[in-house]
Amino acid sequence: MASPRKFLILAKIETTQFTDPVPTPAANSILVKNLRVTPLRVESEDRALIRPYFGNSEQLPVMEEAMIEFDVEVAGSSALGTAPKWGPLVRATGFAEVISAGVSVTYNPVSAAFEYLTIYAYRDGLLYKMTGCHGSVSMDFAAKRIPHMHYRFVGKYVAVSDAAIPAGSDFSAFQTPKASIPTWTGTLTVDAFAAKVAALSVDMQSEVSHAIWMNAETIQPVDRKPRGSITVEQVTVATYNYFTKITGANLVALALTHGTVATNRVKVTAPKMQLVDIEEADFEGTSAHRLNVTFAPNTGNDEVAIEVT
């Protein structure tokens, strides 16, 4: 009997979209949680035939796709200037990877030259393949919780086959994550103000088009509109006036460094975050404010940057 707990996810960047680069357990295993696979989603056209009796007409498939979503823990890399194992995933959500040897790896959003993944999802006894995958990513940080990135990918459906989960999966390059607590939060500022933060979410909201032409199939991103939320301690307006920032449509900088030890630090920055509304909240008996936010570009393709050091 197949077990719903036995899965192996492999992901590898494609050189040519829809051409399977054949990921391997040793090089391309991805450590995930909260996995959800839709191995086949179909759009159909009903023939709607008229006959002298009641009943359905068959529906003809006009589009097939596969989808997958999962969480990956936010953690650094195995060495300074070495891309983290989750690097291929974020690249296939519209980010470019820039490696500074021995120093850092930075991911900035792009509006062209997109990259795509082949993903293998080995379920106990079955292999779900999808090629040409592109998607969107969100990041969630919360006090006393392990932060994570949530990935959502859509790809071209490849026929499902019977397959045992292969041996040799290697997760050793995935760093052990740190919880969002004072010991491991290096920097957290909103508009250079050191706000006490209970939760922060950043959702890139990438829009991916899967188009079926008469003679071609395309999967590609067509837009992004990053947004999120932040929950902060309630303070006096003299201390920091969130309300005038909202009514004035001010754009403020966000900076978060998660982790304090080299090789396990992930920095998230946004140069122009807009606070769009505010509501009262409660955090462990303390008055707080929850603000919805959006992220705008500064010079372009820089709304949100992720840096691993």
Q: Based on the structure, what is the number of domains in the chain?
A: 1
| Closest to 11 in 3D by CA, of 83, 117, 129 | 117
300 has pLDDT over 70: yes
Give the pLDDT band (50/70/90) at residue 251.
Answer: very high
Question: Per the domain annotation, does 282 fall within a domain?
Answer: yes
Tokens of 164: 């045992």
Question: Per the domain annotation, does 288 fall within a domain?
Answer: yes
pLDDT digits (tens, 9 = 90+) for 168-227: 999 999 999 999 999 999 999 999 999 999 999 999 999 999 999 999 999 999 999 999
228 has pLDDT over 70: yes
What average pLDDT does range 111-127 have in this prediction? 97
Place of tokens 């920095």: 267
**57: Cβ contacts below 8 Å, ≥ 6 apart:** 46, 47, 48, 49
230 has pLDDT over 80: yes
| Closest to 37 in 3D by CA, of 115, 114, 124 | 124
**203: Cβ contacts below 8 Å, ≥ 6 apart:** 136, 138, 139, 226, 227, 228
Give the pLDDT band (50/70/90) at residue 246.
Answer: very high
Tokens of 276: 């769009």
Question: Per the domain annotation, does 261 fall within a domain?
Answer: yes
Question: Per the domain annotation, does 116 fall within a domain?
Answer: yes
Question: Per the domain annotation, does 119 fall within a domain?
Answer: yes
What one-character-per-residue DSSP string does the chain give? ---TT-EEEEEEE-SSTT------HHHHEE--EEEEEEEEEEEEEE-----SS--PPPEEEEEEEEEEEEEEE----SSTTS--TTHHHHHTTTEEEEEETTTEEEEEE-SSS---EEEEEEETEEEEEEEEEEEEEEEEEEBTS--EEEEEEEEEEEEEEEEPPPS----TTSPPP--BSTTTEEEEEETTB---EEEEEEE--EEEEEEE-SS-EEEEEEEE--EEEEEEE---TTT--HHHHHHTT-EEEEEEEE-SSTTS-EEEEEEEEEEEEEEEEEETTEEEEEEEEEEE-SSSS-SSEEEE-
pTM of the complete model: 0.96
pLDDT value of position 1: 52
Tokens of 42: 């179909």
Question: Per the domain annotation, does 54 fall within a domain?
Answer: no
pLDDT value of position 127: 98
**111: Cβ contacts below 8 Å, ≥ 6 apart:** 300, 301
Question: Per the domain annotation, does 208 fall within a domain?
Answer: yes
2 has pLDDT over 80: no
Question: Per the domain annotation, does 106 fall within a domain?
Answer: yes
pLDDT value of position 186: 92
Range of the domain at 237: 7-45+61-165+179-308
pLDDT value of position 5: 74
CA–CA dist 215, 181 (Å, integer): 53
Give the pLDDT band (50/70/90) at residue 147.
Answer: very high
What average pLDDT does range 5-16 have in this prediction? 95
